[in-house]
Amino acid sequence: MATPILMENPLRQGLFADRVPAPCSLVIYGASGDLTHRKLVPALFDLYEKHLLPASFSLIGISRSKISDEEFKQGLKVALKESEPQLSDSLWNSFSQNFHYMAGGYDDFKTYQALSQMLDQVDQENGTSGNRIFYLSTPPNVFENIISNLGAAGLAKEEKGFARIVIEKPFGHDLESAQELNQKVKEVFKERQIYRIDHYLGKETVQNLLVMRFANSIFEPIWDRRYVDHIQITASEDMGVGSRAGYYESSGILRDMFQNHLFQVMSLVAMEPPVAFEANAIRDEKLKILKSIRPFNENTVYQWAVRGQYGPGYLSGEKVPGYREAEGVNPKSNTPTYAALKIFLDTWRWHGVPFLLRSGKRLPKRTTEVAIQFKQPPNLLFKTNVSDLSPNVMVIRIQPDEGITLKFETKVPGMSMEVRTVNMDFRYGTSFAEGTSEAYERLLLDCMLGDATLFIRGDEVEAAWAALMPVLNHWETTEPERHFPNYEAGTWGPAEADNLLEKPWRKWRRL
Ligand code: BG6
């Protein structure tokens, strides 16, 4: 095996000194997969370049493909060159010198015994001190198998160093399977060893929600039912399902985007101030929000939940096929590729304030944002109808063009009292020299540091599933109200979504 990486780390003395993790080995299950190539290794490379990987670090990739160490590394290098075209051989060689590969079945106990030996050897040769992270980036149907085998091989024990497990989404297919998976993983690992990923929490702007709310004193006093009319959370994508039809057919938009990403963002927007900036304090508050979601019932599911599926249409002038035409999709599929939900949180702070959540594939553009719309002024002073005044809106752009915009009314210069909406803008791109980091970079680093703040706790996952189950059950046992497909690719989803708005001053934001 290669010699240990003992690089000089200029940051160790400086600002980020406390952000350099202890030596460790990262074991990735599903190492020949897309996520490893497109996200995990590029994120590790970015950390390496910023001197934020531990001085001694090893990566062991495991999957079923029978390939050599060299072939494994070559595959990673080719993928990394997509995002790092300038990558030199010498830089790659030093980054990857402690990368290894093991082929093996996920249900074959011998693989785990061999892994255990390999990890001991790596510890000795590379000084990784018995610290291990097991990253499950496989299809979810093998999660339980891997977890119990890791347990049986004694790899969850923390005798020499730490043992952590990172579990990719989807965490369960419904409430019952999520509970089962939680139980299985907790039989082997303690909750503090478990890191359930939601990559949205690693996004810079999602983290900024906490800073914006709790490092300023001007927003919090108006952050409630007295001043807020409603909140819109949108995650729109122009992409279709691509090559993921197999997964998507059994998942659909609610499982894919709402149970995790949108509910997490909503929790951060709505939660009470935590007592400390610490993993459990923050997760306690998010959990309260998820538990406060007013349960959907037979009637409200019709009124507050809208589903859609895209048909053929045009995006950027190009004709694109409908969902049912995608390879691997049942031509009669009723899988929703769009959903809009009206959610009420039964809390003192948010009583009566609708949270309007929407997400869809093949919408006109890729945008994720939170928009807080404030109430109209109570009294009319100017010769304008109150309804002609645009409401004050605070838009937190999660991606792209990350930043915050505050929309407010102002006087148009001149002799009359004409009122017009203007924007006050903060953009990450122009305010900071540093670029925003990729979500996985932050999350991998936090896991190595043992900071679970940006990971989801088991009870949060279950609360999110519990809130969504009535809608999922209803949609899976009834025909869509209007036959699918009910929106054209390249449009903003089915017209029925407008019914969720109810009041004339509420409109879906045009993005
Ligand atoms: C993933 C979903 O979790 O998030 C995908 O499975 C979706 O369907 C993706 O495209 C969106 O992530 P991002 O970071 O591109 O907004």
Q: Ligand 1 centroid to 203 CA: how many Å?
A: 12
Q: Ligand 1 centroid to 226 CA: how many Å?
A: 34
Three-class DSSP category at 367: strand
Nearest residue (CA) to ligand 1, atom 8: 256
Does the beta carbon of 237 sit less than 6 angstroms from any atom of ligand 1? yes
Q: Could you give the CA distance from residue 390 to residue 341 in angstroms, rounded to a whole number?
A: 24
- CA 184 vs. chain centroid, Å, equals 23
Which atom of ligand 1 is nearest the CA belonging to 399? 16
Burial bucket for residue 312 (CB in 10 Å: 0-12, 13-18, 19+): middle
Quick one: tokens of 507?
């409109």
- Are 370 and 231 in contact by the 8 Å Cβ rule? The answer is yes
Nearest residue (CA) to ligand 1, atom 6: 256
Q: Ligand 1 centroid to 136 CA: how many Å?
A: 18
- Are 104 and 29 in contact by the 8 Å Cβ rule? The answer is no
Does the beta carbon of 451 sit less than 6 angstroms from any atom of ligand 1? no
Nearest residue (CA) to ligand 1, atom 5: 256
The residues assigned a catalytic role are: 261
H or E segment to which residue 183 belongs: helix 175-188
Q: Could you give the CA distance from residue 25 to residue 112 in angstroms, rounded to a whole number?
A: 15
pLDDT > 90 in the chain, percent? 85
Q: Ligand 1 centroid to 398 CA: how many Å?
A: 13
pLDDT in tens, 208-261: 999 999 999 999 999 999 999 999 999 999 999 988 899 999 999 999 999 999
Which atom of ligand 1 is nearest the CA belonging to 260? 3
- Are 379 and 496 in contact by the 8 Å Cβ rule? The answer is no
pLDDT in tens, 263-321: 999 999 999 999 999 999 999 999 999 999 999 998 999 999 999 999 999 999 999 99
Quick one: tokens of 420?
């017009």
Q: Could you give the CA distance from residue 266 to residue 253 in angstroms, rounded to a whole number?
A: 16
Domains in the chain, please, with CATH?
10-168 (3.40.50.720), 201-378+458-501 (3.30.360.10)
Determine the residue of 199, 201, 248, 442 to mutate for testing ligand 1's pocket, defined as the one with the most ligand atoms within 8 A of the Cβ atom. Answer: 199
> Greater confidence, 83 or 25?
25
Q: Which of 449, 437, 453, 150 is nearest to 283 (CA)?
A: 453
For 228, 350, 354, 356, 405, the CA distances from 373, given in Å and listed in that order, are: 6, 13, 11, 11, 12
Does the beta carbon of 438 sit less than 6 angstroms from any atom of ligand 1? no
pLDDT in tens, 412-460: 999 888 888 999 999 988 888 887 788 999 999 999 999 999 999 999 9
Q: Could you give the CA distance from residue 255 to residue 461 in angstroms, rounded to a whole number?
A: 12
Which atom of ligand 1 is nearest the CA belonging to 247? 6
Query: Residue 30 region, left (φ>0) first, then alpha (ψ -120 to 50), else beta?
Result: left
Quick one: tokens of 277?
């900036």
Which atom of ligand 1 is nearest the CA belonging to 200? 14
pLDDT > 70 in the chain, percent? 96
Question: Could you identify the residue written with the tokens 């609708």?
Answer: 354
Does the beta carbon of 84 sit less than 6 angstroms from any atom of ligand 1? no
Handedness of CA 376, 380, 381, 384 (dihedral sign): positive
Which atom of ligand 1 is nearest the CA belonging to 169? 3
Does the beta carbon of 238 sit less than 6 angstroms from any atom of ligand 1? no
- Are 62 and 27 in contact by the 8 Å Cβ rule? The answer is yes
The confidence score (pLDDT) of residue 9 equals 40
Q: Ligand 1 centroid to 141 CA: how many Å?
A: 20
- Are 473 and 316 in contact by the 8 Å Cβ rule? The answer is no
The confidence score (pLDDT) of residue 385 equals 63
For 23, 239, 428, the CA distances from 76, given in Å and listed in that order, are: 22, 25, 31
Q: Ligand 1 centroid to 468 CA: how many Å?
A: 19
> Which residues, 6 or more positions from 165, have their beta carbon under 8 angstroms from its beta carbon?
133, 134, 135, 136, 147, 150, 156, 185, 189, 193, 194, 195
Q: What mean pLDDT, rounded, does the chain reach?
A: 93
Nearest residue (CA) to ligand 1, atom 2: 256
Quick one: tokens of 464?
């999110």
The number of residues in the chain equals 511
Three-class DSSP category at 211: helix
